Chain A
Amino acid sequence: DIVMTQSPLSLPVTPGEPASISCRSSQSLLDSKGYTFLDWYVQKPGQSPQLLIYLVSNRASGVPDRFSGSGSGTDFTLKISRVEAEDVGVYYCMQALQVPPTFGGGTKVEIK
């Protein structure tokens, strides 16, 4: 199985400040057709996970443009340009290249 590793584990952020989360996969997530299958999900307190970004950098419907994803191969980053109070939760990366899909351990974003 592909192993997904996230850092940091916890990320205290001041509202209005940027935040960045890293994700690394144990093998390249690039497929033969040129797509890179890396998604980001957020799980807000008491809720199910919800899709944030797919295929590295595509925001899901309704996701604010302060969220952006980047990266290639095995190294990926989720950035929040200006954190808002509603952004608190646990952020997960997930590889969607192979079955089984596998998730990172999560990064808890909290407000300072």
Chain B
Amino acid sequence: QVQLQQSGPGLLKPSQTLSLTCAISGDSVSSNIATWNWIRQSPSRGLEWLGRTFYRSKWYYDFALSVKGRITVSPDTSKNQFSLQLNSVTPEDTAVYYCARREAAGNYFDYWGQGTLVTVSS
């Protein structure tokens, strides 16, 4: 059974960097049949996919245009986890952030983290 455990601060000031980590158990961040994703949810934007990383002989990364240039998604094979960094946050980045595994064959998100409410406020 795959489990994803999120950690990271929930309160930031504008211009700071959001940093979250998703620890994986029951699977490997280097899996050849999964991708590792970050998704956020807010009342104004609904569920919004932010980015992903995955390993297919080398590491790949994809990001949403809405956050491209501000986002980093990094795998950590030594700790079997992956992380999200979002730079220069504004109040519009206030949301619940989820990590999620996407199964490659069916392209569905089959495992989700518990969610982290991140509030950006001065």
Contact = CB atoms under 8 A, between A and B. Distances in A.
Interface in B81-122: 98, 102, 106-110, 112-115
A42 to B, nearest CB: 12
Contacts of A51: 108-110
Contacts, number: 50
B49 interface: yes
Given A49-B47, A58-B106, A99-B62, 17 more contacts: A48-B98, A48-B113, A48-B114, A49-B98, A49-B112, A54-B106, A54-B107, A54-B108, A55-B108, A60-B108, A96-B108, A97-B107, A101-B107, A101-B109, A103-B48, A106-B46, A106-B47
A102 B49 contact: yes
Interface of B: 46-49, 62, 64-65, 98, 102, 106-110, 112-115
Q: Give the contact-size bracket for chain A.
A: 20 to 34
Interface string A97-112: 1011111011000000
Nearest to A1: B65
B interface SS class: strand
A87 to B, nearest CB: 19
A105 B108 contact: no
B108 A48 contact: no
Contacts of B49: 100-103
B27 to A, nearest CB: 15
A75 to B, nearest CB: 19
Contacts of A100: 49, 62, 64-65
Nearest to B103: A54
